[in-house]
């Protein structure tokens, strides 16, 4: 049993864990081996996310103030909390894919911008394209739009040049 001082230390660590987080995903990783959890944590590192397993009461105390207060409704039974610090879709995708591949564990839900998400909503978040993919498609759209405008301007200039040439020919014939 952890002492009161150790529990306060854990709550302080959890507060730091939640700090600057964009998304929290609550999972049940029951049945996973230590090796599988270690592999899972490594997979989360590439998504700029971290996983923490702690007692629900300590998780609830640490998340009580701030954007992750809704975790208290989800943290029941064995809970692992995954916090994403950048793109919310990346950790959701990593969690959903890993649990699906192992056929062990379950997503209970999540919290984003203070709003609770159901397990289905976390899975939908995982299906969203990454921030990089979205920015790339926006830039592609802007680039093609700029090319279209440049093409239109070129056509107008060409038409004016042809028109000026026709007017000059007509004036030469009239003179």
For 117-170, write each residue's pLDDT tens digit. Answer: 888 888 888 887 766 777 777 777 776 776 777 777 787 788 787 777 887 787
pLDDT digits (tens, 9 = 90+) for 4-32: 888 888 888 888 888 888 888 999 888 88
Residue 6 CB: number of other CB atoms within 10 A? 10
Rounded distance, CA 169 to CA 91, Å?
A: 68
Task: Give the start-to-end residue ranges of the domains of the chain.
Answer: 4-128, 130-175
Model pTM?
A: 0.68
Whether CATH 3.30.110.40 fits 4-128: no
pLDDT digits (tens, 9 = 90+) for 68-95: 888 888 888 888 899 988 888 888 888 9
Q: What is the Cα gyration radius of the chain?
A: 28
Rounded distance, CA 116 to CA 67, Å?
A: 10
């Amino acid at each position: 049993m952890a002492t009161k001082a150790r529990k306060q230390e854990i709550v302080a660590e959890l507060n730091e864990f939640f700090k600057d987080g964009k998304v929290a995903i609550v999972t049940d990783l029951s049945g996973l081996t230590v090796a599988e959890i270690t592999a899972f944590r490594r997979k989360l590192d590439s998504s700029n996310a971290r996983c923490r397993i702690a007692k629900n009461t300590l998780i609830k105390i640490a998340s009580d103030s701030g954007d992750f207060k809704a975790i208290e409704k989800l943290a029941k039974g064995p809970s692992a909390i995954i916090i994403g610090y950048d793109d919310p879709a990346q950790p959701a995708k990593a969690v959903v894919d890993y649990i699906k591949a192992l056929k062990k564990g379950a997503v209970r839900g999540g919290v984003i911008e203070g709003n609770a998400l159901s397990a289905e909503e976390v899975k939908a978040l995982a299906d969203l394209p990454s921030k990089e993919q979205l920015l790339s498609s926006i830039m592609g759209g802007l680039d093609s739009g700029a090319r279209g405008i440049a093409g239109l301007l070129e056509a107008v200039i060409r038409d004016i040049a042809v028109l000026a040439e026709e007017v000059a020919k007509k004036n030469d014939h009239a003179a």
